[in-house]
Each structure stands twice: as C-alpha cells, then as structure tokens.
Amino acid sequence: IIILSISILMINKVAATTIGFSQVGSESGWRTSFSESVKAQAQARGIELKFSDAQQKQENQIKAVRSFIAQGVDGIIIAPVVETGWKPVLREAKRARIPVVIVDRNIKVKQQSLFLTRIASDFEEEGEKIANWLMAQTKGECAIAELQGTVGATAAIDRAKGFNRVLAKFPKSKIIRSQTGEFTRSKGKEVMESFLKAEQGGKNICAVWAHNDEMALGAIQAIKEAGLKPGTDILIVSVDGVPDYFKAMAEGEANATVELSPHLGGPSFDAIEAHLAGKKVQKLISTTGDLFTQDTAAAEYQKRRLQ
C-alpha cells in the first residue's frame, strides 16, 4: 500500500502541467479581466500557473520567458506588448521543445514554427466596425481626434488600419489629431487635454476615436473638465466593451464600442493541452466581437457587473 501510494503521488506530481504566462501588464480594465480569466482557468484545470506581469515592457517579457524555460515549464503563453523582437527567445523555447502560444496581440516572425498557435481577435475588423458606425452617425462628415494604443502593438496598428480604410471613403472626414495614450486612462486624459487646448477647447472636434475604452474613459474626463459634454458635443467611440465603458454609454457620455472578449485563457490552455496530448493544433484561432451603443448599454452594464 505504501509503495502504491508513493507511486500515485509521484504520478500526480508528474501529471501536473506547469505553464508560464507572460502578460503585458495591467494597463486597462480589459487586461485585468484577461489576467483573471487565465488565473481562473488554470485553477479550474489544475494547471500550475507561473504568472509574470511585464508592466508594458518587452524586455521584462523576454526575461520572464527565459526564466520559464530555465524552470522547464510544459508550455508558455505570451501576450506580447509589441510585434517585433521575438525571434531569439522563441528559438530558445523551441530548442527546449516548449510549445509557445501567442495570445491577443501578434508577433512578427518569418518562421511560423517558432510558435504553436495564435489566439486573437481581428483588430482590423474592430477598427472597421467602429468607423462604419461613426460615419453613418455623422453622415460622413467628422473631424476626429485619435488616441492611439501602445506604439508597435498589433491592437494599435491594426485598429488604426481598419478604421482608416473606412475613413478613406469619406472625403469630408479626417483625423485632425493623433497621439498615443498608451492604452491607459491617465495618458488618455492627458493627451485629450492637449488636443482640447490645440483645438480651441474642442469646438473643432466632432469625435474621439480611442483604440481602447480605458483611454476613452480618460478622454471623457478631460472633456467634462473642459466644460463640454462627452457623448453629445464630442462623440466617443472605442473598442473593448469593459463594464465602466458600458456605464458611461448608459449615462450618455460615450457612444459606441466593439466588444473584445477577455476570456482567452481557456482556448490558450486548450491549445497547449491538445499539443501535449499529441494532437494537431490550428495556426490561428480567431474571435470577433459585436458593436454596442447607448441603446442597450444599461442592460449590458448590469449583465457585466454581475459577472
């Protein structure tokens, strides 16, 4: 019996999967929900999770991945800050035969075998959806102030690309100001304050297009402090669908957003577990979200608050 229980203990030990997760940071409400979803999923599946917060710096992510490799984890999940600069560390993981899942933002590497799969939303489509809504709302005539996301991050690059593609069809619309707000509320507010000063207190601005809700919420604050009504005097559009933004829409201070699911933990673990079980994993697992406006915001806020 003793030998049997010792061996069962040993098997159990061997069986517990250890996964390292390098997360961007906690710059937005969306990001925080995403981290929580990964932690909850790990717990539900009995996975030992090594969580590392990079505080929006790629160098911290590279260090974390190296330490995961040194610890001999069974799999690595990277939510990359920026697209470039990943080749060396991914090669190290490959040499150590550790599968890597890229989640959310993209990476630029020629050799696709450097990672197992990518799980992400179609950011270009998000940009297109919100631009189409804004153009319909303003009859194609709008001077736009853009709050960009983190420089070099797919979510910023592709959302801008999709938005601008639609905008190109409307000659009476234009982006008149554009700057990064680094996906944070405080920077979004700060940049919006400077836009308002530069545009005669905001009278020239028809809409704010923020690459995420968090910056939009900062911009709303700045607009209110400048004595204008966000959502009315200046339209507010963005992406993510965080509860705070639904609340702002319900209160008439924001106009539209495209929801992005933060529940990326489950599919990431699914991919690694399938791979470890010898199954084939498809190269891109893509998700997309719907557009929400003020009409349903109050009800949607209640739903999300209870989650």
Give the interface with ligand GYE as residue ranges (CB under 6 A).
27-28, 30-31, 104-105, 155, 183, 212, 214, 239-240, 260
Residue among 143 and 147 whose Cβ is closer to ligand GYE: 147
Least separation in angstroms between residue 194's CB and ligand GYE is 21
Least distance between ligand GYE and beta carbon 288 (Å): 12
Min dist CB 260 to ligand GYE, Å, is 6
Report in angstroms how near the CB of residue 27 gets to ligand GYE at its nearest: 5
Beta strand 117-121 with 18-23 is: unpaired
CA distances from 37 to 65, 180, 266 (A): 20, 27, 8
65, with CB counted inside 10 A (0-12, 13-18, 19+), is: buried
Beta carbons of 161 and 194 less than 8 angstroms apart: no
- Distance between CA atoms of 236 and 249, rounded to whole angstroms? 9
Q: Which is nearer to ligand GYE, 181 or 202 (CB)?
A: 181
Look at the alpha carbons of 241, 245, 247, 249 in this order and tell me if their dihedral is positive or negative: negative
H or E segment at 4? helix 2-15
Could you tell me the smallest distance in angstroms from the CB atom of residue 257 to ligand GYE?
10
The size of the chain, in residues, is 307
The smaller minimum CB distance to ligand GYE, of residues 76 and 242, is found at: 242
SS3 label, residue 3: helix
Alpha-carbon distance 199 to 135, whole Å?
A: 21
Residue 203: count other Cβ atoms within 10 Å of its Cβ: 11
As measured in angstroms, the least distance from the Cβ of 77 to ligand GYE is 14
DSSP code of residue 12: H
Q: How buried is 126 (Cβ within 10 angstroms: 0-12 exposed, 13-18 middle, 19+ buried)?
A: buried
Tally helices (H) and strands (E) across the chain.
11, 12
Largest Cα separation within the chain, whole Å, is 82
Question: Smallest distance, Å, CB 146 to ligand GYE?
Answer: 15
- Nearer to ligand GYE (CB atom), residue 74 or residue 259: 259
Nearer Cβ to ligand GYE, position 216 or 222? 216
| CB of 124 vs ligand GYE, minimal distance in Å | 12
**Cβ proximity of 247 and 296 under 8 Å:** no
| 27/74 with CB nearer ligand GYE | 27
